[in-house]
A and B are shown apart, each in its own frame.
Chain A
Amino acid sequence: MAAVPFFSAFSLNDLMFMAQGAAKTLLLTLWSGLLGTVVGVVVGWIRSTRAPVVSQLLGVYIDVIRTVPLIIQFIVVNSGASILGAPLTPFGTGILVLSFYMGGFVAEVVTAGIHAVSDTLRKAGRSLGLSYWKDVRYIVLPLSLRAVFPAWIGLLLGLMKDSSLIAVVGYIELLRASQIIINRTEQPLQVLLGAGAFYFVMSFAASRYAASLERRWQF
């Protein structure tokens, strides 16, 4: 079938364009995954101490983050920043929203991980003269890390896919790049399969690496 004028076939340039989109997806995921984990660890740790007021306020943060659809969060933050006179770049919006989004989920996982280490085991550590922080460093951290690592990897992979929603504020990551190419080539199936392959390769690498770490940690 002859190509319809105005549309043109998929080219090597398009593949490069998608690869760039994939790189942006990866960048967004890694940064917000990293920052979100830092936020989540701090929030989760504070909540695990059951400190009054602060724990409850952080609970509200977690509830809001986990219940309001991500796409609304992107739009609200993006518009809000503009209204406040400090407009964000699409990438900045992405990092900001995704980090706190990831943070909310990580916090719950972290709290669960800390509680997975029994009080009596911690008492055993403290009874040997370990200070609070040495107990955290040598007992609580390694044990809860092993307990929550698979869940954390799951969150990270979810974050990579969720990051595609940043397209609503105009950031051209992998999925948006694919849509642009689809509009031009009218070959949605092939392009989307390609995009799916990109996502798969990135996720698969992460989950294989995670699995090998988990095997090494077995005791």
Chain B
Amino acid sequence: MIEIEDVHKSYGKLEVLKGVSMSVQRGEVVVLIGASGSGKSTLLQCINGLESIESGRILVDGTDVHAPSTDINELRRRIGIVFQSFNVFPHYTVLENVALAPRIVLGLTRQQARERARDHIAKVGLSEKLDVFPSKLSGGQQQRLAIARALAMNPDYMLCDEITSALDPELVNEVLDTLRMLSRDGMTMIVVTHEIPFAREVADRVVFFDSGTVCESGPPDEVIGNPRNERTRQFLGKML
């Protein structure tokens, strides 16, 4: 499980996380919603140590992410992350993008890594594109590739950081379908998204973020269907 305890984080003078606490159980799908700049993405990047924190603590299966003694590279194998801006490796083919980390991080042989990569590429529906470079893929395909790349590490957790925000509207669903599949498979996920209907559909729990704090948290039917907090209501009013 992921435990976030009173986390503070600033960029210079700008405080983006002002004492965030929450936890995510194994198998749970937690969706973070909230206005841009409310700290959701920063929180995700703190969870796998891509960003440092000033105070508080983040534990992943009991391991303190930001403790100097933690082997962060080992920890990151268990936490997949998919970004808004795809970030697939432009100089590797689809197959190589997915096979790279299993080979050089997990130590699989080239053959094993490719086999594993093929499985995950098939899962996201890109088997036709194995030897194609990402520049030849659509945004939706690139994002699915990024998901396959993260899944190929067999992570225990998946973090999704506004992964449909950079997509043309007609490509959003193919990526959301991939997430639906993951949630059916029981993957533990923290999903930052502006797709409120999607949040309502897949989330076990919805967390509303407002200016660096958790404002409201609960089952989707409560937080989205019947928000108690005024700011949640205002935000949803603008989104829906």
The interface size of chain A toward B, counting residues with CB under 8 Å, comes to 20
Chain B residues in 8 Å Cβ range of A129:
73-74, 76-77, 101, 105-106, 153
Distance to closest chain B CB from A105 (angstroms): 25
Q: Which of A128-155 contact B (CB under 8 A)?
A: 128-131, 134, 138-139, 142-143, 146
Using CB atoms, name the residue of chain A closest to B77.
Answer: A129
Chain A residues in 8 Å Cβ range of B91:
142-143, 146, 217, 219
Chain A residues in 8 Å Cβ range of B85:
120
Give Cα distance in the complex from A138 to B104, angstroms.
Answer: 9
What 0/1 pattern do residues 68 to 98 of B give for CB contact below 8 A with A? 0000011011011101010111110000000
CB of A121 within 8 A of chain B? yes
Distance to closest chain A CB from B26 (angstroms): 20
Q: Which of A115-132 contact B (CB under 8 A)?
A: 118, 120-121, 123-131
Chain B residues in 8 Å Cβ range of A118:
87
Distance to closest chain A CB from B104 (angstroms): 6
Chain B residues in 8 Å Cβ range of A138:
100, 104
The interface size of chain B toward A, counting residues with CB under 8 Å, comes to 28
Count of A-B contacts judged by CB separation below 8 Å = 62
Chain A residues in 8 Å Cβ range of B77:
128-129
Q: Are B87 and A128 in contact (CB under 8 A)?
A: no
A interface, by DSSP: helix, strand, loop or mixed?
helix
Q: Are B150 and A128 in contact (CB under 8 A)?
A: yes
Q: Are B89 and A121 in contact (CB under 8 A)?
A: yes
Give Cα distance in the complex from A121 to B80, angstroms.
Answer: 14
Give Cα distance in the complex from A138 to B101, angstroms.
Answer: 10
Of B81, B100, B104, B133, which contacts A127 at CB under 8 A?
Answer: B81
Distance to closest chain A CB from B177 (angstroms): 22
Q: Are A124 and B105 in contact (CB under 8 A)?
A: no
Q: A129-B153, A130-B105 are in contact. Are A123 and B87 (CB under 8 A)?
A: yes
Give Cα distance in the complex from A127 to B116, angstroms.
Answer: 19
Interface positions of A (Cβ within 8 A of B): 118, 120-121, 123-131, 134, 138-139, 142-143, 146, 217, 219
Give 6 closest A-B pairs by Cβ, nearest first.
A124-B87, A128-B101, A129-B77, A219-B133, A129-B105, A129-B76
Interface positions of B (Cβ within 8 A of A): 45, 48, 50, 73-74, 76-77, 79-81, 83, 85, 87-91, 100-101, 104-106, 133, 135, 146, 149-150, 153
Report 29 cross-chain contacts, Cβ distance below 8 Å, ordered by A residue: A118-B87, A120-B83, A120-B85, A120-B87, A121-B87, A121-B89, A123-B45, A123-B87, A124-B81, A124-B88, A124-B89, A124-B146, A125-B89, A126-B76, A127-B48, A127-B80, A127-B81, A127-B150, A128-B105, A128-B150, A129-B74, A129-B101, A130-B101, A130-B105, A134-B105, A138-B100, A142-B91, A219-B133, A219-B135
Q: A127-B80, A128-B105, A219-B91 known; 8 other A-B pairs, CB under 8 Å?
A: A123-B87, A124-B87, A126-B73, A127-B48, A127-B79, A130-B101, A131-B73, A134-B105
